[in-house]
Structure 1
Amino acid sequence: MKTNALILALATLLFAFTFEDDLIQSIAAKFDRYNNELPQEKAYLHLDKPYYTAGETVWFKAYLVEANTHLPDTVSIPLYVELIDNQRGKLIDKKILQLEGGSAAADFMLPDTLKAGYYRLRAYTNWMLNFDENLLFTKDFKVFRPNTDDEPIKLNSQEIDFRFFPEGGNLVEGIENRLAYKAVDALGNGLDVSGIILSDKGDTVISFDSEHLGMGVMTFKPQIGEKYTAKIKYRNIYEKEVSLPVSEKEGFVMGVESVADKENIRLFVGHNSANSTSQIAIIGQSQGKICYAAKATSAKKVLLMKIPKNKFPTGVTQFTVFNEKGLPLCERVIFLKTDTTLNVNILPNKTKYQTREKVTLNIEAKDAKGKPISGDFSVSVTDAGQILEQAFPENIQTYLLLSSDLKGKVEQPAYYFSKENPDAARHLDILMMTQGWRRYRWNDIMKDELPTPKYPLERGLSISGEISRQNGKPFEKPVNLTFMFSLKDSTRLFGMGLAQKDGSFVVNNLSFVDSAQVIVQAIAGNSNRNTKIFINRAFSPKVQVVAIPFNALTFDEKELADYLKRTKEALDFERSLRFNKSILLNEVQVKAKKKVEERDSRVLYSSPSKSLTVDPTMIGYMNVLDLIRGRFAGVQVSGSANDPVVTIRGVSSLSGSSEPMFLLDGMRTDKSAILMLPVADVEKVDVLTGGESAIYGMGAGSGVISVLTKRGNPNYDYSNDKALGVEHFGIAGYYPTKEFYAPNYDVSLPEHIRPDYRSTIFWSPKIKTDANGKASITFFNTDAATKVNITLEGISAAGIPIVARNTYSVGTK
C-alpha cells in the first residue's frame, strides 16, 4: 500500500485534528516496509481423519499460502513436515515435500511398534523459521494400540490456569473498562468457573460466571489506590485465589464494540493523563494492510469513533493507540466477517448405496454471484461408525482466518463460524480479548532497522558447508569445488563452483526425489588438495515435550470399539500375509552346501540375529542408521536421518535405556560416532538380540547394533582410501508421493475376498475445479453398512479458504 494513498483515505473523526500527518506517515511507511521485506507464510495440513492406530497410514494434504492475502504461495518450494511424539519430545520422522502451486500430498506410515498416546504433525518452510516458532503449523492427534493401555496422563484436578485480560491491555485507576477472563484445566481445555472480586478491605466489588469454555467478561472500574483479589470456584469443590493486574495510576484504555452493530465498529479511547497536549494516533490493520488511521490530542479524556466495517476484510483486525513517539499504548483485536462466502457443494450421485457399490462425487464451486471459481481441494471420505466427529474441530478456514493469527491454541474453533450458534459472535469477541495478538508486534515493526533473515527463502533443496586447511584456518586463495550427485535412478549430475573467501559455500535450487549420494572435491589454487571439507547438517526446530496435550480426545474408547476392532483385524490380516510368504520361502529346498564362515576377529559373537552387507549400490543414505531403516523386522529407526532413535522390538533393558548398545569394529561407542560414519566406509551391520547380545553384558539389554567398517577389517586394502580433499555423504530429497489404495470392485480379483472395513474409505488430495467450477471423483464403498462422512477442504485461486461437508448412507446388498 502506498503511503500517499493511505493518507488520502484516512477516516474523519468526531474531533479536530491538531497535528501534522508525520506520525501516521511514519507508522504506515514502517508497516509497509516490514511487510515488503519480511513477508510471512502460513502452512496448513488437512488429514484424512482425526485419530489412528499404530501401523496405519496418516494421509495428508499440505497447503502453503501468503500470510496476508492467503493466496496460494508459490515462492517457497520445499515444505518440511515432521512427525513428533508429544509426550516424549521425540522427532519420529521427517519428510520434505515439493510444493507445486502451493500444495503437495504426502503420508506418514505409523510404525506398528508406536506406543499409544498423543502425536503431532509440524509443518514449516525454511523462511518461516525467521519468525516466532509458535507460528509454525501444528496438528495434534491420538494413536491407539488395540488391547494395550495408554500411558496415563498426569492430571491434577485442582490445577487450573486462570487469567484476567483488561480490554486494550491495561487497567487504569478511575476509568471504567471491560475485564475479560479465561480458565483452563490441566489439559488446556476451558473450565466453567464462578467468582467474586474483592477489594483490599475484603468488600465484594462484583461477582461473575463464565459463559463459554471458561471465558467471560465484566465491566470493572478500579478505584484510586485500591488493589483487588479474585476468588475463583470451579468443579463445585475447589477454590483458587488470583490477584488482578495492578492498575496504572495514569494511562490509556481502549474499548471496542463490534458485535451489536452490523454496519459499524464503535471504538472508545479513554485516559487520565495530566498532559492535555500529547498526541496520539489510532491505527487499524488487517491482513498486512492499514485499513483505518486517525489522530487526535489528549485534550479530551474520552474519544469516541464510529468506523464502517466494510473498510476491513474477513479475519482478525488489530486496533492500536500510539503515542507521539510511535510507541504502542494499548491494543485490541477483533474478528470481522464480510460476505465473501463461496458456494461449494459435494453432491453424491445417490443418497443411499449398497456395500462395495461405486460412488461418484460431483463438486461444484461458485462465488456468491453464481460464477464458477477455480480452487485446489482435498477430500476425505470416512466411515462414520468408526471415525467419530469431533466437536467443532480445526479446519483450513478456521486456521487461516482465526487460529493462525492468535496466541495459543483455540479450543473448538469451528464453533465461532457456525451459523447455528446465535451466541457465536459474542463468544468470539470474548475469545479475541483473551487470546492476544502474536503475528504482528509493533515494537518489531517500528525499529529503525529490521533484522537480517537468518534462514533464506528456498526455491529448492540445498547443501552448504565450509572449506578450510587441515588446521581449520581458511585459505587466502580461491577454492575450486566440484560436485557429483548420484540419484536413486542411477542419474549422475555434475557441477562446479568457488567457495567464498571465508571458505563457506552453498549449492541451491536442487531438485530430486528420495535421496542422493554426493561427492564434493575441493582444490585450493591449481593443485592443493590438502583441504578439509565440513558439511552443515539439516536444521530442525527444537522439539518440546508436551506431557499434557491440548484438546485431548474426549471419546470413550467404548464408542471407538468398532474402529479399533476393524483396524486390528485389517492389520492382523496384513501381518498374516507377510508371515505366510515367509513360510513359503522357508519351504524352498536349497541343495547347495552351506558355507561355514569364520568368526570375525573384531567381535565376540559367532553369528548375529540379523545382518546386512553393504554394497556399492546402496547409495543415497545419510548415515548407517538411515541405511538400516526398514530393512530389519523388529528394528525400528524413527526420527529424522540426522538424529534417529533406534528401538529393537522384543528386548528390554535392565539399565533403563531404551536404545541398543552400539559397537564400532567390536568396540563400544556412542550413537553420534555411528552417525558420523560415511555409508561408503561401512562393510557390514549386524543386529544382536536375546542370547546373542547377552555376551556383551547388562549394557546390551536393549540389543546391540554392531557396525563393521572396511578399514577395520584386517584384510583391508589401504590403497582404496579416499583421496585428499574429497568428501562424500548422503542427503534427503523430496518425498515421493504415494497413491491411496482404493480397490476397484468392478473388476474381480482374488484379493477382493478379503473383508473390507477401512475407516478411511477414500482419500483424494489433488482435486482442481475446471473452467466451469466443477470436478468429480469416483470410488467404491467398503463392506460396512454405515453412514459415510465427506469432508472437503481447500483454497480458491483468490485466496479464500473453503470447507464443505456432506453425508450418504450405505445399506447391505
Structure 2
Amino acid sequence: MLYFSKRFVCKSIFAFFLFLSLSGFSQDKAEQAIQNMDKNFPQEKVYLMFDKNSYAAGDNIWFKAFVFDGYSKSNVSTTLFVELYDSSKKLIDKKMLPLYNSEGNGNFQLADNLKENIYYVRAYTIWMTNFSEDFQFMKSFAVYNPNSPEKLIKNDNADWSVSVFPESGTFVAGIDTKIAVRLQSGGTLPKNWNGYIIDKDKPNAHLADFESFDQNVGSFFMTPQKDKQYQVVITDNNGKNQKIDLPQVAESGINLQVKSLADKIEYQIKSNNIADESGYYKIIATIGNRFVYKARIRKNSNDEVFSIPANQLINGILQFTLFDEKENVVAQRLCFIQPQKLNFLKPVVQSISKNLNPKSLNSFDIKSDSNIYDVSVAVYDQSKFNQKENILSAFWLTGDFTDTIEQPVQYFSDNRNTDALDALLISEKWKRFNWKDIISGKFPVIKNQPEKYISYNVRITSNGAPVKNTNINLMFEGDKSGSKLLTVITDNNGDLSLKNMAFYEPQKIYYQLNADNPDAVIIPKVSFVPLKKELPQSDFILVKRNPNDALTSEASLAIENSQFQKKLNEKVTDIEEVKLIAKKQSPTEKLNDELSSPMFQSASETIFDFVNDKSLATGSPDILLWLEGRVAGLQIQRDGADVDVLMRNKKVDIYLDEVKTELEILRGFNISNIAMIKVVKDDFFGGFGNSNGAILIYTKNGNTGSGEVMKSMTGLKFFILKGYDKPDFYKNIFYSNDSLKNLIDNRINLYWNPKLPLDQSAKVEFYNNDSAKQNRVIITGFDDEKQLPVFSDSILN
C-alpha cells in the first residue's frame, strides 16, 4: 500500500493499493511509531554554501545558509547559529542569523594574525540540538598565513580503512548477493583502487575481481557457500593494500534485494533454509521520517519480484525495512529514488556578453519560469575552483548521513554513476531513528523548543522584589529620531515576554513604571549551545615551516587573493570617503526618515514616494488597484467580496501609519491621501518576526516621526537587547574606476551575491580577473511552491 503526503510528494496524489495477502498482522506498532516520528520529531538539516574552498588570514568567509526539513523547506526554525572553531575546538567567533523563508547569509572576518591551520564552521538550529550532534553541519577549511611558524600540507600518505557491506546486511549461503566495499581515511583517499575476492583456504585463486567506482566505493556480486570464510583484498594506485574478512556465511536466512530503475523500484526477498515458510513478512518503506509504503509478503515468495511506481515518489533516500510477524527487523536496505532523473529547477543563463581580456566587463541574464523569489549567484575562475558539495548533494545525501563522503557532488552531476550511488547507500545506515527504540516507545527527549525569531524574558524588580501584574510603558529607541511606545503587563512572577522580534542592531528599550529603584533582568530564551563531540579529522597535517619553504599552489593562491582584497578595500575606502563628502540625502530618503521609525525600516524595503514623485498618484484612485502589478511577487487575490494581499503566496500584514490594519479599512482608500508606501519583503523589528513581509502605508496627516516621545523619555532607565549579527556588505569589484586597474588581480571568486532578486529574470555584471580563460557560474536556490532545489552549474560560452 502506498501512502502519500502533499508536503512530500509534489505530484498528483492517487490511491494505489498492493495487496499480497488478505491476512493481517496482529500488531501495527511500527506504522504508529514512524507516524509519531513524522508528526512530532521533524529532522532539520543545514547546508552552507561558501564563497571559496580555502582562505588566508585576514579574509572574510562568506556563506549562504539553507535549512530543510526532510525534502522541503523547514518551517520549524527561524534562527540559525553559526560558529567558527580552531583545530583545538576553541570557539573563535559566532553568529546568530535570522532565517527568512528558511534562508540566511553571513560572514566571519578572520584576524590578520590567525595562525595557519585547519578551522571549522558549525551550523545548527536550536531544534537540531535535541538530536545527535552528528547531524549538525560541520565543514573544515584551510586558512593560510605565511608568517605562521607551521604550515599545512596535504596528508596524501594517510592510512585508509576498508569495510564490506552485503546488501540488506545479510550474507546467506546459496544466495547471489551484492557486496559494497567502502574506503575511509583521516587523510586523502586514493583516487583509484581495485580489489579481488578469495577463499581464505585458497588465497591464490581469485573468485572475482572488481574496480572501484570512485574514491569511496566499489561493488561486486558473489554467491557464498556455507562453511567458507571469504576475504577481500584491496590495492590502491600507490600500491598499498589491505585485506579484510567478509562476514561469516549464514546457513539460513533472507536477503532483501532492491533495484532503483527509471520508472519503478523493484525489490525481491531471497531466502534459504527458512524453517517455517508459512506466514508473512511485513515490508515498510520510508522517506526520511515519512511512511510511504507497506506490503505483506508471504515467506515462500522467493521468486516473486515486487515493484513501487517511482513516478509517484520524489527524489530522495528510500529506506526499506523488512519485519517478521513479531515486528523484529530482519533486513534493511537504502536506495535512491530515480537517480537516473533528478528533479530540480535549472535557471537559464542567457544573453551572455563575454570578454576574457584582463579586468573586462562581462554580463549575463538569469531567467526562470518558476516562482523563485531570489537565488544565490557565484562566478568563478574555472581553473581555480573545485566544488566538492552543492545544494543537490546536501539536500539528497550528506545532510542525512554522518560518515564522511568524499566529493559527494559527483553523485548528482551530469555524468554521475548511478551504480556508485547505489553501492554507497548499501554501505550506509539510516541513523535518524532506530526501529527497535521507537517501536518500544523510546523517542527523542525534547529539551529545546524553537522560538520564532528572537524572544526574551524580562524580569522587572523594585528594590529586589518582582513587580507583578503591573502595566509598564516600553519605548523602543532607534538609531535615528524615531521611536515607538508599547504598553505591556508583567505576569505573576514579574516577567514580561518580548517575542518574535527580528532586528540587527542592539535595541535600547526604556521602561517607565511607578516603583522605587526599578531594575530589569534580561533572560534570552534561545542561545548558543556548546559543542560536545570532537572535531572531525582533516586531510591536512601541520608541519614546521622552514625559512626557504615554497608555498603550495593552494596556499599561494589564497594569499594572493587575500592581498588583492586588502589593496582593493583600501582603494575602495578612499573612493567611498570622497563620495561620502559630496553625498546629500535624497528627498525620498529624507521623507523615509521623517515618516518611518527605525523599527519600521528594512534593508529589503521598496519605497514609493508620492510626495516627491507626483506621477505615482496618477491612474487608479484606489490604493489596492494601484498596488496590483506595481511590486514584483505581490498578488491581490479576490474571492467575491474577500480580498487578500499575498507575497510569495503567503498573506502579508498591512500597516497604516505603523499601526497594523485590517485590509477592509483600505477599501476605497483614496490614493491622494498617501504620502509614502513601503513594501518590505523580509522581517523588520516592528513586525516582530513576520517573515511574510508587509505593506506600510503612510498618510499625509499621519506619522511624522516620534522625536517628541523620545524627548519625554529622557532620564528613564533602560535595558539593551542584542539582535541578530548583521552580515557585512560584500563588495563586488567595479573596474570602471581607473584607479583600480593597476591592481594585480588573481581572484578565484569573480562575483558573489547570496540574495539576488530574480522575479523570473535578473541581470548579472562582473569583471574578469587578469588570467581567467573560462568563467563558471553557479546558481543556487529553492522553489517554495514546488519544493524543489534550484541549481545551475555552467561554463559561460
Question: Is the TM-score greater than 0.5?
Answer: yes
Aligned position for 1:740 = 730
Aligned position for 1:593 = none
| Residue 44 (structure 1) shift | 1.6
Contact in 1 for aligned 2:355/2:361 (Cα 8 Å):
no
Q: Does 1:793 align with 2:793?
A: no
Within 5 A, what are the aligned runs for 1:470-619?
489=479, 508-515=499-506, 538-542=527-531, 544-546=533-535, 548-549=537-538, 557-558=552-553, 561=556, 564-571=559-566
Query: Could you say what secondary structure the match of 1:31 adopts?
Result: helix
Contact in 1 for aligned 2:380/2:776 (Cα 8 Å):
yes
Q: CA RMSD in A?
A: 4.6
What is the distance in 1 between the residues matched to 2:385 and 2:50? 13
Contact in 2 for aligned 1:194/1:209 (Cα 8 Å):
yes
1:381-406 Cα distance to aligned partner (Å, 9 max, x none)? 23345xx232x621001110122233
Q: 1:258 to 1:57 in 2, by over 3 A?
A: same
Aligned position for 1:374 = 372
Contact in 2 for aligned 1:352/1:808 (Cα 8 Å):
no
Within 5 A, what are the aligned runs for 1:14-29?
16-20=20-24, 23=27, 26-29=29-32
What is the distance in 2 between the residues matched to 1:67 and 1:330? 23
1:82-125 Cα distance to aligned partner (Å, 9 max, x none)? 2222x222222111111222222221112112222322322221
| 1:53 aligned residue (53, 56, 60) | 56
Gaps of 5+ in 1: 367-371, 580-726
Within 5 A, what are the aligned runs for 1:91-102?
91-102=91-102
Q: 1:564 to 1:511 in 2, by over 3 A?
A: closer
Aligned position for 2:643 = none
Query: Could you say what secondary structure the match of 2:311 adopts?
Result: helix
What is the distance in 2 between the residues matched to 1:444 and 1:466? 41
Letter of the 1:761 partner, please give it. L
| Residue 332 (structure 1) shift | 0.6
Contact in 1 for aligned 2:259/2:267 (Cα 8 Å):
yes
Q: Does 1:66 align with 2:69?
A: yes
Aligned position for 2:323 = 322
Q: 1:248 to 1:481 in 2, by over 3 A?
A: farther
Query: Could you say what secondary structure the match of 1:791 adopts?
Result: strand
| Residue 347 (structure 1) shift | 2.5
Letter of the 1:510 partner, please give it. M
Q: Does 1:408 align with 2:403?
A: yes
Letter of the 2:726 partner, please give it. P
Aligned position for 2:436 = 443
| Residue 356 (structure 1) shift | 4.3
Query: Could you say what secondary structure the match of 1:352 adopts?
Result: coil
TM-score (norm 1): 0.67
Aligned position for 1:396 = 391
Aligned position for 2:631 = none
| 1:802 aligned residue (786, 790, 795) | 790
| Residue 143 (structure 1) shift | 1.9
Contact in 1 for aligned 2:2/2:17 (Cα 8 Å):
no
| Residue 294 (structure 1) shift | 0.9
Q: 1:281 to 1:480 in 2, by over 3 A?
A: farther
| Residue 562 (structure 1) shift | 5.1
Letter of the 1:94 partner, please give it. K
| Residue 64 (structure 1) shift | 2.0
TM-score (norm 2): 0.68
Contact in 2 for aligned 1:465/1:536 (Cα 8 Å):
no
| Residue 49 (structure 1) shift | 2.0
Letter of the 2:63 partner, please give it. F
Q: 1:287 to 1:457 in 2, by over 3 A?
A: same
Aligned position for 2:690 = none
| Residue 210 (structure 1) shift | 3.9
| 1:430 aligned residue (423, 430, 437) | 423
| Residue 796 (structure 1) shift | 1.6
| Residue 161 (structure 1) shift | 1.5
- Which moves more between the two structures, 128-137 or 448-457? 448-457
| Residue 536 (structure 1) shift | 8.1
Q: 1:558 to 1:779 in 2, by over 3 A?
A: closer
| Residue 202 (structure 1) shift | 6.6
What is the distance in 2 between the residues matched to 1:266 and 1:17? 17
1:318-363 Cα distance to aligned partner (Å, 9 max, x none)? 1111122333221111112246343422235313254444433210
Contact in 2 for aligned 1:18/1:296 (Cα 8 Å):
no
| Residue 729 (structure 1) shift | 8.5
1:464-498 Cα distance to aligned partner (Å, 9 max, x none)? 69999x99xx99x9798989798773869877666
What is the distance in 2 between the residues matched to 1:570 and 1:407? 36
Query: Could you say what secondary structure the match of 1:349 adopts?
Result: strand
| Residue 209 (structure 1) shift | 3.6
1:62-85 Cα distance to aligned partner (Å, 9 max, x none)? 1223323x2x33442111112222
Contact in 2 for aligned 1:487/1:512 (Cα 8 Å):
no
Q: 1:35 to 1:556 in 2, by over 3 A?
A: farther
Aligned position for 1:243 = 245
Contact in 2 for aligned 1:184/1:190 (Cα 8 Å):
no
Aligned position for 1:777 = 764
1:663-715 Cα distance to aligned partner (Å, 9 max, x none)? xxxxxxxxxxxxxxxxxxxxxxxxxxxxxxxxxxxxxxxxxxxxxxxxxxxxx
Contact in 2 for aligned 1:158/1:238 (Cα 8 Å):
no
Q: 1:159 to 1:234 in 2, by over 3 A?
A: same
| 2:451 aligned residue (458, 463, 466) | 458
Q: 1:100 to 1:305 in 2, by over 3 A?
A: same
Within 5 A, what are the aligned runs for 1:274-423?
274-300=275-301, 303-337=304-338, 338=341, 340-352=343-355, 354-366=357-369, 372-384=370-382, 388-390=384-386, 393-421=388-416
Aligned position for 2:144 = 144
